[in-house]
Amino acid sequence: MGLLAALACFAAWLGAFAPVEIREQEIGPYTFAYRELENASVTDVGAAELGRAGATGLRPLGVYAPDGSAQIGVAIEGGAEKLAALGDVEVRELTAQRGMVAEFPWRMPLSFVVSYLRVNPAFERYRASQGYEIAPAWVLQDGGLILNMMPIERRSP
């Protein structure tokens, strides 16, 4: 019984039982630096190397396409032009646009999994209720929060 209570407390701490609130607001812009790697993680992107090259304000950012493919990298606040010397680093702009946003607590790497399991179904229900198309999801770790974002794409009449 004690083990179950401990697991329930751990799950609650990760946010597994917290309500998911979706709001619409402006998202972006973000300068996104990443490497094209199969099954990449944020550590594979080499944030320390990007920092040594002159990029500043690095925060983990992933872009997840509806087909299941993903680009894992970092949002950078400055120094994007200095990354050209790193030949395998791609840099692109995620432009500012209207989007759906759901915040989730960041506790540890497992938080991303719990966030995905809780937020994606909520986004799906919200999109269906508003008549929005599925779009690539942006997931940004911003301090103690995971910002789950999805640009709004309206269905064609």
Query: The tokens of 58 are what?
Result: 């690095």
pLDDT number for residue 147? 97
Q: Specify burial of residue 45 (Cβ count, 10 A radius: 0-12, 13-18, 19+).
A: buried
CA distance 67 to 59: 24
- The predicted-structure confidence for 25-46, as pLDDT tens digits, reads as follows 999 999 999 887 677 666 777 8
pTM for the model stands at 0.90
Fold of 2-154: Multidrug-efflux Transporter 1 Regulator Bmrr; Chain A (3.20.80)
CA distance 138 to 23: 15
Q: Residue 123: what are its φ and ψ, rounded to 5°?
A: -60, -45
b/e per residue 89-116 (b: at least 16 CB within 10 A): bebeebeeeebbbbbbebeeeebbebbb
- The predicted-structure confidence for 88-130, as pLDDT tens digits, reads as follows 889 999 999 999 999 999 999 899 999 999 999 999 999 999 9
CA distance 98 to 66: 18
Domain segments of the chain as ranges? 2-154
User: In terms of Cα–Cα distance, which of 7, 22, 34, 43 is closest to 147?
Assistant: 22
Give the H or E element holding residue 122.
Answer: helix 110-130
